[in-house]
Amino acid sequence: MIIDASDLELIDDEIFAVVFKGNVYIKRVRQTEDGIALISINPDYDTMEVIEENCDKFQVLGRMVLRGG
At residue 69, does pLDDT exceed 90?
A: no
Q: Per-residue pLDDT tens for 33-48?
A: 999 999 998 999 999 9
Q: What average pLDDT does the structure give for the chain?
A: 96
Q: How far is CA 61 from CA 16, 20, 26, 43, in A?
A: 7, 11, 10, 23
**What's the 3-state SS for 4-60?**
ECCCCCCCCCCEEEEEECCEEEEEEEEECCCEEEEECCCCCCCCEEEEHHHHHHEEE
